[in-house]
A and B are shown apart, each in its own frame.
Chain A
Amino acid sequence: MTARESLFDSGKLKVEEAPPALARDLKDGLRLGVIGILVMLGAAFFLSGIVGPLFALGNVEETVMDVLTRLALLALPFVAYIAAASVARRYTVRDSPRALGLALTTTVILFAAISAGHYVFNYGVFAPRPSLQMTLRQTDAGIRVEALVAGGAADTAEMQVGDVITAIRRDRVDLAAFNKRLSQSEADAPLRLRFMRGDEELQETVRVILVSDKQLSVLLPGLLFGLAFTAIIVFLPGHWAPYIALVGLLSPLLVGYFWVIVATFSYRTEGLVPLDSNDNFGGFTLKNWESIFAGNISGLEFNIWPILMTSLAIAVVMTFVVLLVSSMAGYALSRMHFPGRRFFLSFTLILHGFPAITLLIPIFIVLLRLGNMPIIGEVIGFNTIGGIALVMVAFQLPLGVWLMKGFFDNIPWDMERSALIDGASRFRTYWEILLPQIRPGLLALGIFAFIGGWNAYIIPATYSIGTGLSNLPVFLNELIDETAPVDWNQVAAVGLFQLIPIFIFFIFAQEYLLNIYAGGTKGSS
């Protein structure tokens, strides 16, 4: 029986013992949590809404109130913890898996509630969004003003129904571009609109204002989903708890990935919904991807292939060198006695804990010096792929060496002795007999190294300044820095483009990886 099976078997048993108690415990926990949250929210409202204004005469008091309010809000997650712990506590001694499950589930639900609240009020549909308080429609001539909110921003700026907007400042716009520009504006930002009123071309400066104009009905599906989710958790048998917890914990990630994928294929997104230029569902396009290969994003000219090659070179060099050096060093540390072995082991561990950022400047100087050396400097100096890979390898090695040492420690001595007696040299023994035994370890470390190298940002960014040399993450950052306004859908496309090799890699290595995690090498006795 695998560990997984036995885990769930025991889960089932416990449910049969006392099924109603679990639901009751969960409900208790949730009730406590909800009451706690309400109390905290009440306190926050009391502080900022009632106490605050009373003392609003002096600035100091206001700040104190602000801090207290924010503290009350900050404490919300802790309320969730406390509620979860209070139910879990009943079982900690007798039945720790159940206690853990309860705590996890309760926390997840309460967290989901708190996060949803945060989201809704800060970013979601209730969030204020920039608006000019007029209704627009795309026509052949331009964007026609269909209606105005009386006393609203546009009205104040003396816009009229029937005006046809053609440009913002000197940039010609259609409705999509207009909306995009608007959504990126801050409160009170002046937008100078050019428009046609009759045959007359006019200009008005309209100040952006933040409005929240969404209806509650939009929220309903989300609310229903939340309720269903809670109901499922509260009423499902106990052994489902781990799955629910898993989904709950993973959902932000999944939502993130979902957005990235949707965004790269759409013109514009509002939340997770792709929109076309008229704010309707749709607007799918391949232009985000095309522009990567065309080498022009928002006016920034580039060639993606050298960038890709740089990324690849760093990752491959790093994987190769890390594997080679770590496995050899690990072998020596595992099998040989030599002076300084213990010191070396503890020292590498310290090195591993050393934050890389603090070493950026010293290493910078070292690389500069290396760069001045003839020949070597061309390969591993400042502003070379070799130099970047060298530094990254150095940072990865302590972990690698320890990992490899651990794997070698687990190979019985006899196997190696047997090979030596069979007539192999030491190197052959290492290469032909021992390395195959630690293939899972090599693969794991290789993946670490490859992904580390592929996603490397801080080191390539630091040690390649002033050159055209950049890998994908560095390029991504340039993209955000050097284009205005930033087209996030295109940034997402570059990001996803960067992920493709890793996806491919995982698809191929999946079975092998699962084997490693499922416990050791397959087929060995």
Chain B
Amino acid sequence: MEIRIDNLTKKFGDVVGVENLTLHIDDGEFVAFLGPSGCGKTTTLLTLAGIYKPTDGLIRFGDRVVNTVQPKDRNIGMVFQSYALYPHMTIFQNIAYPLKLKKVPKNEQNEQVRRVANVMGIGDLLDRRPGQLSGGQQQRVALGRALVKEPDVLLFDEPLSNLDARLRLTMRGEIKHLQKNLGITSIYVTHDQVEAMTMADRIAVMNLGHLQAFDAPDELYDRPKTRFVAGFVGNPPMNFLDVEVSRLNGQFLAEADAIRLPLGAERGEPPAGHPGAVVMGIRPEDIQIADDGDVRGEIFVVEPLGREDLIDVRIGSNSFILLADTEKQYRAGQPVALKFDMSQAQFFDPQTERSLLWRQ
């Protein structure tokens, strides 16, 4: 089922949930909504589900405008963060509930519930009640309940955020796998960017009720169109600093305080054309500690992450986050030289926060 959202606005009194959202989702696509808390992800999802009525704008499922269609007539399945299982019903009854409402005959219900339960690996829990299940099992039940009625659209609202890291990893794979097999158009809300990056065909990044970007994960990572997207996608986040970019006999140079970094023409040309200072962004993995580094600084903090150390290096008033091998055993206070891979640098207009390299 193709979903087309045009200029969708949802307000709660004066509070803006989501504003002027336009998004076209292809049939069978897996789209993630990514954004910080309170940016309107859940609001958008619930509006799609028909729980909220749009204040303005159009929502189409295929060719049908569904703005005023009741939730029960939309044929969607939804998985909530809280799972929202019905505590007074057994697992069987929980999963069978959508079928019962569709007036599917009893024996068929039985068959379908068992099939879905087996796929989800909860076939032997059908007689229990939700209260007697672990979080992971409840999660599977919720997923099973959403799937059993063979919905046209699947909506996920942070379905994995209550699980431990390991289980989250497994479930991530399973959901992705199921979705691809069934080919159901899916929207997956999360504020965990790893989840979004690994699972989604395309990611819609939202902030403060507005759509910031809607692109494939690699695109968002390599060619962020706004400073917000650049900062939000990627972990640890991108380093930003204010620089002046100038052209010097065919060479480009980014300068800030004691930092002087040469640039290639491809990256240097657009910011050099911009009057005044610009914001430069550089990802932690594009900075190395090297003896022949261009810039000298001092280690401020070392945070061990296990495989790597997260290192905060201060250069003058600027601070850079970067990753280094644990074996090097860097300590706070140690002077180091840094090498920047400027072919990966991003530049943004400080006023509009739009990228100077990639136009929308």
Interface residues of A (CB under 8 A from B): 412, 414-415, 417-425, 428, 433, 436-437, 439, 521, 523-525
Q: List 8 A-B contacts (CB under 8 A).
A: A414-B82, A417-B51, A418-B80, A419-B86, A421-B50, A421-B71, A421-B72, A424-B101
B72 touches A523 (CB 8 A): no
B87 touches A421 (CB 8 A): no
From B86, B87, B138, B149, give the contact of A523 (CB < 8 A). B87
Tell me the bound Cα distance from A439 to B131 in angstroms.
16
B87 touches A417 (CB 8 A): no
Q: How far is the CB of B137 from chain A (nearest CB, A)?
A: 11
From A417, A423, A424, give the contact of B84 (CB < 8 A). A417
B72 touches A436 (CB 8 A): no
Interface residues of B (CB under 8 A from A): 46, 49-51, 70-72, 74, 76-78, 80-82, 84, 86-88, 97-98, 101-102, 129-132, 138, 145, 149
Tell me the bound Cα distance from A422 to B75 in angstroms.
8
Least CB separation from A418: chain B residue: B84
From A417, A436, A521, give the contact of B49 (CB < 8 A). A417
Query: Inside 8 A of A412's CB, which chain B residues have their CB?
Result: 82, 84
Query: Given A417-B49, A525-B130, 7 more contacts at CB 8 Å?
Result: A412-B82, A414-B80, A418-B86, A421-B49, A421-B74, A422-B72, A523-B129
A423 touches B80 (CB 8 A): no
Query: Inside 8 A of B86's CB, which chain A residues have their CB?
Result: 415, 418-419, 433, 436
- Given contacts A414-B84, A415-B84, A415-B86, A421 and B78 within 8 Å (CB-CB): yes
A421 touches B101 (CB 8 A): no
B84 touches A524 (CB 8 A): no
Query: Inside 8 A of A433's CB, which chain B residues have their CB?
Result: 86
Query: Inside 8 A of B145's CB, which chain A residues have their CB?
Result: 422
- Given contacts A412-B82, A421-B49, A523-B131, A437 and B98 within 8 Å (CB-CB): no
Tell me the bound Cα distance from A453 to B49 in angstroms.
45
A420 touches B88 (CB 8 A): no
Query: Inside 8 A of B81's CB, which chain A residues have their CB?
Result: 414
- Given contacts A418-B78, A418-B84, A437-B88, A423 and B72 within 8 Å (CB-CB): yes
Query: Inside 8 A of A523's CB, which chain B residues have their CB?
Result: 87, 129, 131-132
Tell me the bound Cα distance from A521 to B101 in angstroms.
26
Tell me the bound Cα distance from A323 to B113 in angstroms.
35
A428 touches B87 (CB 8 A): no
Query: Inside 8 A of A524's CB, which chain B residues have their CB?
Result: 87, 131
Query: Inside 8 A of A439's CB, which chain B residues have their CB?
Result: 88
Q: How far is the CB of B122 from chain A (nearest CB, A)?
A: 16
From A414, A425, A437, A521, give the contact of B72 (CB < 8 A). A425
Q: How far is the CB of B42 from chain A (nearest CB, A)?
A: 10
Query: Inside 8 A of B97's CB, which chain A residues have their CB?
Result: 419, 422, 424
B101 touches A422 (CB 8 A): yes
Tell me the bound Cα distance from A422 to B77 in angstroms.
7
Tell me the bound Cα distance from A417 to B157 in angstroms.
12
Q: How far is the CB of A440 from chain B (nearest CB, A)?
A: 12
Least CB separation from B49: chain A residue: A421
Least CB separation from B75: chain A residue: A423
Least CB separation from B130: chain A residue: A525
A422 touches B98 (CB 8 A): yes
A423 touches B130 (CB 8 A): no
Tell me the bound Cα distance from A447 to B19 in angstroms.
49
Query: Inside 8 A of A436's CB, which chain B residues have their CB?
Result: 86, 88
Q: Which 6 A-B pairs have the closest CB atoms?
A: A423-B101, A418-B84, A414-B84, A436-B88, A525-B131, A423-B72
Least CB separation from B72: chain A residue: A423
Tell me the bound Cα distance from A420 to B50 in angstroms.
9
Tell me the bound Cα distance from A418 to B82 in angstroms.
10
Query: Inside 8 A of B80's CB, which chain A residues have their CB?
Result: 414, 417-418
Tell me the bound Cα distance from A523 to B86 in angstroms.
12
Tell me the bound Cα distance from A422 to B89 in angstroms.
14
Tell me the bound Cα distance from A525 to B131 in angstroms.
4
A417 touches B101 (CB 8 A): no
Q: How far is the CB of A210 from chain B (nearest CB, A)?
A: 66
Tell me the bound Cα distance from A398 to B347 in angstroms.
64
Least CB separation from B71: chain A residue: A420
Least CB separation from A523: chain B residue: B131
Tell me the bound Cα distance from A388 to B98 in angstroms.
43
B98 touches A423 (CB 8 A): yes
Query: Inside 8 A of B98's CB, which chain A residues have their CB?
Result: 422-423
Q: How far is the CB of B83 from chain A (nearest CB, A)?
A: 8
A428 touches B84 (CB 8 A): no
Q: How far is the CB of A57 from chain B (nearest CB, A)?
A: 80
Tell me the bound Cα distance from A524 to B87 in angstroms.
6
Tell me the bound Cα distance from A437 to B149 in angstroms.
24
Q: How far is the CB of A408 from chain B (nearest CB, A)?
A: 15
A428 touches B71 (CB 8 A): no
Least CB separation from A426: chain B residue: B70
Q: How far is the CB of A411 from chain B (nearest CB, A)?
A: 10
Tell me the bound Cα distance from A525 to B134 in angstroms.
10
Tell me the bound Cα distance from A424 to B145 in angstroms.
14
Query: Inside 8 A of A421's CB, which chain B residues have their CB?
Result: 49-51, 71-72, 74, 76-78
Least CB separation from A525: chain B residue: B131
A525 touches B87 (CB 8 A): yes
Q: How far is the CB of A416 from chain B (nearest CB, A)?
A: 8
A423 touches B149 (CB 8 A): yes
Least CB separation from A521: chain B residue: B87
Q: How far is the CB of A518 from chain B (nearest CB, A)?
A: 16
Tell me the bound Cα distance from A433 to B87 in angstroms.
9
